[in-house]
Structure 1
Amino acid sequence: MSKPVVYACSGCSNVARIAHDIALNLDSDGLAEMSCVSGVAANVDEMKTTATSAYQTIAIDGCELSCTKLCLDNASVNVDHYFVVTDMGIEKRDKWQDSIIDNSKALNFIYKSLKEKGIEFNV
């Protein structure tokens, strides 16, 4: 696989939604292929093969609980690029109380960080 595989938080807070939305954006922008972290954690053969054969792996967690990274670690999947939304100065709130400003802040941070590591748009 020539693109990184991206996994994201699936929690129920604003920062979980931001993490998930950024993973969807990375996929739709052609920078990475999004895959299912719960499938990896459940040891689903297809998902595990995707994870272990990835060119590079990106993990995005919403908060310091690090559920996405722990799922990948427990499945012996190497994470090359790791981001935690709350580490970007975004406060964790209940459910979907997010804002476009928080979303944009996290998206810009992650895209810039990945660009510095050679993962960027091919235009």
Structure 2
Amino acid sequence: MSEKKSCGCAAAPKLVFACSGGADVGALADQVARKLAADGVAKMFCLAGIGGRVSGILKTAEAASRIMAIDGCPLNCARKTLEEAGFTNFAHVQLADLGFKKGESPATEERVLAAAMAVAPHFANLS
């Protein structure tokens, strides 16, 4: 039996950040990010840690191979939080642009699946 040798280095993570705001579309964005993480598309990471400038979270984000921000509504809190922390090279999807309307889009299983299927290709196309 041959043993695979490890270089001790880990692949840079792919991270997804979601605004988990107070509206239904914020809950939907949060659940979409969790689904993408559960499906192995990316690791969901803490947007509050970016806003709070938590050093370990910032370092992990800086080392990421890809970053995706998911916002539910046009306020774009996830995108703005990343930008305020100095991040510029990330993909952004606003669920409102996909037809999910604030106050009319509770995070049902069907909506989470539909939104995740719409968001995943955006993540895959990042360079």
TM-score band w.r.t. shorter chain: 0.7 to 0.9
CA distance in 2, matches of 1:51, 1:66: 19
Matches of residues 32-111 of structure 1 in structure 2 within 5 Å? 32-93=42-103, 97-111=106-120
**Contact 1:60/1:84 (CA < 8 Å) preserved in 2?**
yes
TM-score scaled by structure 2? 0.81
RMSD: 2.1
What CA deviation, in whole Å up to 9, does each residue of 1:71-119 have, x standing for no partner? 000001134221001111111117x83444433331221123334x179
Secondary structure of 2:70's partner? strand
Q: Does 1:30 align with 2:13?
A: no
Query: Aligned to 1:9, which of 2, 19, 42?
Result: 19
Please, what TM-score do these two structures have when normalized by structure 1? 0.83
User: Residues of 1 paired with 2:59 and 2:122: CA distance?
Assistant: 27
Count of aligned pairs between the two proteins:
117
**Alignment-derived partner of residue 121 in structure 2:** 112
SS of the aligned residue for 2:92 comes to strand
Per the TM alignment, residue 30 of structure 1 is displaced from its structure 2 partner at its CA by 1.2
Q: Unaligned regions of 5+ residues in structure 2, if any?
A: 1-10
Higher CA-based Rg: 2
**Structure 1: where are the runs of 5+ without partners?**
none
Identity %: 27
How far apart in 1 are the matches of 2:37 and 2:92?
A: 16
